[in-house]
């Protein structure tokens, strides 16, 4: 399990067993190992990890217009707690925060 944060350091998701879950545990996406990206529940590009623990949307990703298909809902993994704020990294050129 890995806590993921936005650029402001706010906890926005958990990466658990190749699945993306909201902080309260709901399945909100899936990890594509080959492309190293996350897709949403409809199979569209959601974002990727930068700086080890920041989940960000790459504005120039070549996967933005690809539909990877629906992977299904893997349910709720529960709440892993609140890791607190991880600290701001400021704005990163070519990336933006994800609205989950």
Please report which residue ranges of 1-100 form alpha helices under DSSP H.
none
**Predicted model pTM:** 0.93
93, burial (CB in 10 Å: exposed 0-12, middle 13-18, buried 19+) = exposed
pLDDT for res 9 = 97
Tell me the per-residue pLDDT of 5-49, one tens digit each, with 9 for 90 and over: 999 999 999 999 999 999 999 999 999 999 999 999 999 999 999
Q: Name the pairing type of β-strands 27-32 and 19-21.
A: antiparallel
Q: CB neighbours (10 Å) of residue 43?
A: 16
Task: Give the Cα separation of 77 and 19 in Å (integer).
Answer: 10
User: What average pLDDT does the segment 77-88 reach?
Assistant: 94
């Amino acid at each position: 399990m890995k806590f993921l944060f936005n650029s402001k350091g706010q906890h926005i998701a958990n990466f658990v067993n190749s699945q993306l879950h909201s902080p309260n545990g709901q399945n909100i996406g899936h990890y594509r190992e080959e492309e190293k990206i996350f897709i949403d529940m409809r199979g569209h590009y959601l974002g990727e990890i930068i700086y080890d623990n920041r989940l960000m949307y790459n504005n120039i990703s070549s996967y933005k217009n690809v539909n990877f298909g629906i992977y299904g809902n893997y349910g709720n993994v529960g709440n892993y707690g609140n890791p607190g704020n991880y600290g701001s990294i400021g704005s990163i050129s070519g990336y933006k925060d994800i609205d989950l």
